Each structure stands twice: as C-alpha cells, then as structure tokens.
Amino acid sequence: MTPHLDSPIPPTADPLTEALQFLRMEGIFYCRSELTAPWSLGLPPMPDCVWFHVVTAGSCVLIDSRGGRHEVRRGDLVILPHGAGHSATDDPDLDPAPVMDLPHEYLSPSYAILRHGGGGGRVDLICGAVRLAHPAARNLIEVLPEVIHVDPSTGRRALEWLPSVLGMIAAETAEPQPGSEAVVTRLCDILVISAIRSWLDTDPAAKTGWLGALQDPQIGRAVALIHREPQREWTVADLAATVAMSRSAFSARFSELVGEGPMQYVTRWRMHVATDLLREEQLTVARVAEHLGYASEAAFSRAYKRTTGTPPGAIRRAGPADLLESL
C-alpha cells in the first residue's frame, strides 16, 4: 500500500502481515501461451520483477537459472521472485527459443497470445512478469528462494481456493474484456502473496534473516514501529524502551537479525517511503522532506542521495511510466 500522507499504515499485531501489505504489483507483461510438442521457451531475466507461470492444461518442465528442474502440472503455480532468466519446455533436451523473438498476437501493449510448437500434444500456460510497486517490497523478495512451486493438490487447506483464482485468470486471459488487465493484475497480487505465504509456512529458512526479525516478539515490534512512523525522530534508546530491552542488548539483537544497525534501518526505510511518495504520489521533494521529519529539503536530499545513490529530484522527474519503460 502507498503511504498516503494522511493515512498511515494501520497497526496490526503481526509485523509480517504489515510487510506483506507492501507487495503491490504493477503488470509489465502477460502472455497466454498455447504450446504444442515439441517446444521449448527461453524467458529472459527481468530485474526488479517477479515472473509467474500458471499451467492451465497439460504439464511441462521449468528449468531455473541454476539448472534445477521443476515438474509442473495443470493447476500448479510457479513464482520466480527475483525475475531470473529460465526456460519452460516439454523436452529438457531441446534448445530453448527466446520467447521475445517469437511472433505474438498482441491484444494490448502488455498482453499477448503466443502460439508455438510442432503440432503435437498441447500445453497451455499463463505467464507474466509483474513489477513490485513499492520499493520496500525488496526487503522481503531478497530473502525468498529462486523458485517457489505451489501445488494445490497437496491438500493443504490454505490452498483450497487457489484453483478458483487460477480459473479466473484463465477466463480473463482467454476472452479479454474491458478492464481484464486490471483484474489480472489484482489476481496476480493474490497469487504472489499466496505463494510467499505457502513458502513461509513450510520452509525453515523463513525463520531466519529479515523475516526472522519480523517474527521475533521484540525486534519485530520495533521494526513495525519504524514502518508505521518513519517520520518520528527515532533513537536506539527510544526503540529499545518501546520493547522493554536495554539499549545495548536491543542494538546487538537488532543488528544480528536484521543485518544492519537500528538507525541504518530507520534511514533506509525512510528512503523507501520517500521513493514511493516521489514516484507514486508525485509529491515535491520539499513536501516529502517535511513528511519524513527532515529539518530542510537540503538535509533530506543529502540523506537520500547518500543512501540510494540518486538525487530525489531524478526519481520525481522520471515518473511511473518512465520507470516502467526502463525495465
């Protein structure tokens, strides 16, 4: 969710839930693929994006950038959180054809149909690359594995509704209507968050690093407070007091779990919020500086450039459309 100036993030009892609220997607490219054996597609790296694949008919093999093979069947969902290059095929021995070099039927600038293959058995895929709209989402994405494979047939109650969502995506892409692209984008929000939740429930790695910090009773609360009130003049002593820890113990545990000191995290989070306000809200640099508690626009600009390497004015001038075109 975008941090509007007059609507701060509502507090919850669960810092991890708050973190998931930042996973808002912007559609970059969607493709409904009708593939007939033999076929093999090479999909390029998409920096700062999330690749997803839904198999709506047949089965295939997804080969990740490290050579790992993942058997995917009808109804399966595969997420590649880091946007790494990969391939999908019905025969792993085939050389993949670069998907962007194949002829597509474009129904809109960001939605296409691909028909490819040798005329044999058919596999239908819905593929997409979505961009994370909130810069802070990278905190979560960075700790995820290269591939998350969700199989609804496992019988887990949390996945019982997944076939219905996949069916809605299949219907919207099979017969696009006015507004279909917006509907698919919102459904992709659900898919990506659900895939991440599935991984959180089943992988021990979800209890370590930044995710582990969010789930720590004391450090997680401190991180949530920083997220909710980035404009506050936080000190290590203030944060430690709010979670009933000594200053030294809090600082050491925060650094151990989060990977950086409390004040470094406060500054970086402020710059995440600033980027979103500059890019999505198109606020002036002076207004953002005021909102985040800086004494002057100059002080904020120095902190922003020191942290991100880019002056804040450049982010505002670029605008959302230019940032999408740069991917």
249 and 199 co-located in one domain:
no
* pLDDT, tens digit, 9 for 90 and up, residues 29-72: 888 899 999 999 999 999 878 999 989 899 999 999 999 999 99
140 and 47 co-located in one domain:
yes
221 and 199 co-located in one domain:
no
Task: Tell me which residue of 122, 58, 165 sits closest to 114, measured CA to CA.
Answer: 122
Checking if the pLDDT of 7 tops 70, the result is no
Residue where the block lists tokens 């070099």: 101
**Model confidence, pTM:** 0.74
180 and 228 co-located in one domain:
no
Q: What is the dihedral of CA 286, 312, 283, 8, to 10 degrees?
A: -90
What pLDDT was estimated at residue 256?
93
163 and 240 co-located in one domain:
no
Domain housing 78: 15-204
Q: What are residue 153's DSSP bridge partners?
A: none
19 and 55 co-located in one domain:
yes
Q: What are residue 108's DSSP bridge partners?
A: 111
Contact 252, 116 (CB under 8 A): no
What pLDDT was estimated at residue 6?
41
13 vs 167 pLDDT, higher one: 167
* pLDDT, tens digit, 9 for 90 and up, residues 173-230: 777 788 877 787 788 778 877 888 888 877 887 777 788 888 899 999 999 899 889 9
* pLDDT, tens digit, 9 for 90 and up, residues 280-307: 667 889 999 999 999 999 999 999 999 9
Beta-carbon count within 10 A of 196 CB:
23
Number of domains in the chain: 2
* pLDDT, tens digit, 9 for 90 and up, residues 84-140: 999 999 999 999 999 999 999 988 787 889 999 999 999 999 898 888 766 667 777
50 and 126 co-located in one domain:
yes
CA separation (Å) from 85 to 100, 184, 269?
Answer: 12, 23, 29
222 and 152 co-located in one domain:
no
Burial 206-215 (b: 16+ CB within 10 A, else e): beeebbbbbb
21 and 129 co-located in one domain:
yes
Distance between CA atoms of 126 and 110, rounded to whole angstroms?
Answer: 13
Q: What CATH number should be reported for the domain holding residue 298?
A: 1.10.10.60
In a domain, 263, yes or no: yes
Checking if the pLDDT of 264 tops 80, the result is yes
Last residue of a domain, one of 139, 173, 204: 204
